[in-house]
């Protein structure tokens, strides 16, 4: 990324926005940071300036069009231009559709859609004059596969993807080739977002697996600033989910609904009704990148398991990783799902306990499993630097299928297959013997 780019980020005080600001600062960008929390922004600005960046704080409520225009004007007045604008500020509410307070419903739409609209208009007005710039909108995987209990959030994120398409079309018609609009589509990310959400379900909102690090999204945003593309889905599991949803929408939507009810809303911890951060910002001391869901560790665990499967011999390694779990109902269910449906939804079924158990085994077995392969796959091809090639879901499917208990029908099918192979081998041997006898006679 070129040095001294001028970058505006909304929702910068925590989560993805904060992680993105830190990563841009390390690239020597000049930053204009916006959120509703003055104190949190000031602390972030001090942190970034201490590492040699140039950053200013502009407290902004993105639902106020005049405030967003002032944000853009401040960037231009201080730094002369806007190279990158990141629309990131967002809120959510969890409640059954029929009982969700309509004021809260409207507020989510206002922040998540109109806030982005105001940001896009302010940014593109400046970028169009400059004839260059990148607008980056942070959407969500929920904009592709909507969840129950979060109707306005899913609607807003689908709208953001549509907004990106429309803006790109207009820029093309105007022949503004130097101005780009990119959409980032993250899955579940480890940020404080879930505890900041409004909630009327009676159950605590938790991060639904698989959970990714906010730094992974920040890295993608910084990459897009230098090499824009229309849309970028974060994580191989998310990418596979998008592809599978277009092939079998009903199946994926059913799985998403079941998973949301099971793993997004806690069955152990109750929660009272709350408006979260819909109408007031979170406390200044709750302005971290992480939400405490161990996104970094869980991302590293998925990569470690995929790497072990690549370099350690696939099925054999999977058996060792899951040794002692062959009779687990969860493993059997995972194998069945991999067979019947798709590998992406499989990843969504894995709970934190599963990830922890698999990661612990991977750490213990990793050195011994990797020593014999020396960075070679089971097919002899080098895997150095390519540990991300195998989707997490595929790794888990291999593990689950290798350890799923065989049923009577499975054993019967296996016997039939073996018998068929034996018959084919016998027939081949007979044909060869007959051919040899014919050659002898001719001689």
According to DSSP, residue 51 is labeled T
Q: 323-328: which pairs have CB atoms within 8 A and are 24 or more residues apart?
A: 323/361, 325/357, 325/403, 326/403, 326/404, 326/405, 327/405, 328/403
C-alpha to C-alpha distances, 441 to 329, 430, 432, nearest whole angstrom: 62, 17, 15
Which residues have a Cβ under 8 Å from the Cβ of 372 and sit 6 or more positions away? 312
C-alpha to C-alpha distances, 33 to 45, 48, 340, nearest whole angstrom: 8, 11, 47
Nearest residue to 329 (alpha-carbon basis) of 351, 297, 356, 314? 351
Helix (H/G/I), strand (E/B), else coil: 337? helix
Helix H or strand E encompassing 358: helix 352-371
Active-site residue, 116 included: no
User: Which of 116, 118, 149, 153 is the catalytic position?
Assistant: 153
Helix H or strand E encompassing 117: helix 115-130
User: What is the rounded end-to-end Cα distance, in angstroms, of the chain?
Assistant: 77
Between vectors from CA 240 to CA 234 and to CA 244, what angle results, nearest 5°? Answer: 135
According to DSSP, residue 113 is labeled I
Query: What CA–CA distance (Å, rounded) separates 301 from 38?
Result: 36
Nearest residue to 276 (alpha-carbon basis) of 195, 221, 331? 195
On whether the CB atoms of residues 199 and 276 are closer than 8 A, the answer is yes
Burial grade of 335 (CB within 10 A; 0-12, 13-18, 19 or more):
buried
Query: What CA–CA distance (Å, rounded) separates 351 from 206?
Result: 12
Nearest residue to 221 (alpha-carbon basis) of 134, 97, 296, 301? 134
Query: What CA–CA distance (Å, rounded) separates 304 from 298?
Result: 10
What are phi and psi for residue 6, nearest 5 degrees? -95, 120
List active site positions.
Answer: 153
């Amino acid at each position: 990324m070129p040095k001294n780019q001028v970058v505006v980020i909304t929702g910068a005080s925590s989560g993805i926005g904060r992680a993105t600001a830190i990563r841009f600062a390390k690239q020597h960008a000049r930053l204009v940071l916006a959120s509703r929390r003055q104190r949190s922004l000031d602390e972030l600005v001090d942190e970034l300036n201490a590492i040699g960046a140039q950053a200013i704080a502009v407290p902004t409520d993105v639902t106020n069009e005049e405030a967003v225009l002032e944000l853009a004007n401040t960037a231009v007045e201080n730094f002369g231009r806007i190279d990158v604008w990141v629309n990131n500020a967002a809120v959510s509410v969890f409640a059954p559709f029929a009982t969700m307070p309509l004021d809260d419903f409207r507020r989510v739409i206002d922040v998540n859609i109109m806030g982005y609209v105001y940001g896009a208009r302010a940014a593109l007005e400046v970028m169009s004059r400059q004839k260059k710039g990148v607008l980056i909108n942070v959407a969500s995987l929920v904009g592709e596969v909507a969840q129950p209990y979060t109707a306005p959030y899913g609607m807003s994120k689908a709208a953001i993807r549509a907004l990106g398409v429309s803006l790109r079309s207009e820029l093309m018609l105007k022949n503004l080739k130097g101005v780009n609009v990119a959409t980032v589509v993250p899955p579940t990310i480890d940020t404080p977002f879930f505890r900041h959400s409004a909630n009327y379900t009676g159950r605590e909102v938790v991060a639904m697996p698989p959970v990714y690090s906010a730094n992974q999204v920040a890295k993608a945003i910084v990459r897009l600033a230098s090499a824009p593309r229309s849309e970028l889905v974060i994580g191989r599991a998310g990418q596979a989910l998008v592809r599978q949803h277009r092939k079998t929408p009903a199946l994926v939507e059913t799985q998403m609904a079941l998973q949301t009810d099971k793993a997004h809303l806690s069955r152990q911890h109750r929660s009272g009704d709350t408006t979260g951060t819909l109408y007031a910002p979170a406390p200044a001391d709750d302005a971290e990148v992480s939400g405490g869901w161990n996104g970094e560790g869980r991302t590293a665990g998925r990569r470690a398991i995929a790497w072990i499967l690549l370099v350690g011999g696939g099925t054999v390694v999977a058996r060792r990783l899951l040794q002692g779990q062959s009779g687990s109902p969860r493993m059997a269910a995972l194998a069945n799902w991999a067979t019947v449906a798709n590998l992406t939804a499989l990843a969504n079924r894995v709970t934190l306990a599963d990830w922890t158990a698999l990661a612990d085994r991977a750490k213990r077995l990793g050195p011994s499993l990797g020593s014999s392969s020396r960075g070679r796959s089971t097919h002899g091809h080098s895997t150095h630097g390519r540990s991300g090639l195998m989707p997490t879901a595929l790794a888990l499917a291999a593990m689950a299928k290798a350890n799923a208990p065989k049923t009577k029908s499975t054993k019967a099918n296996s016997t039939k297959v073996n018998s068929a192979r034996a018959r084919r081998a016998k027939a081949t041997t007979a044909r060869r013997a007959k051919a040899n006898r014919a050659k002898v006679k001719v001689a």
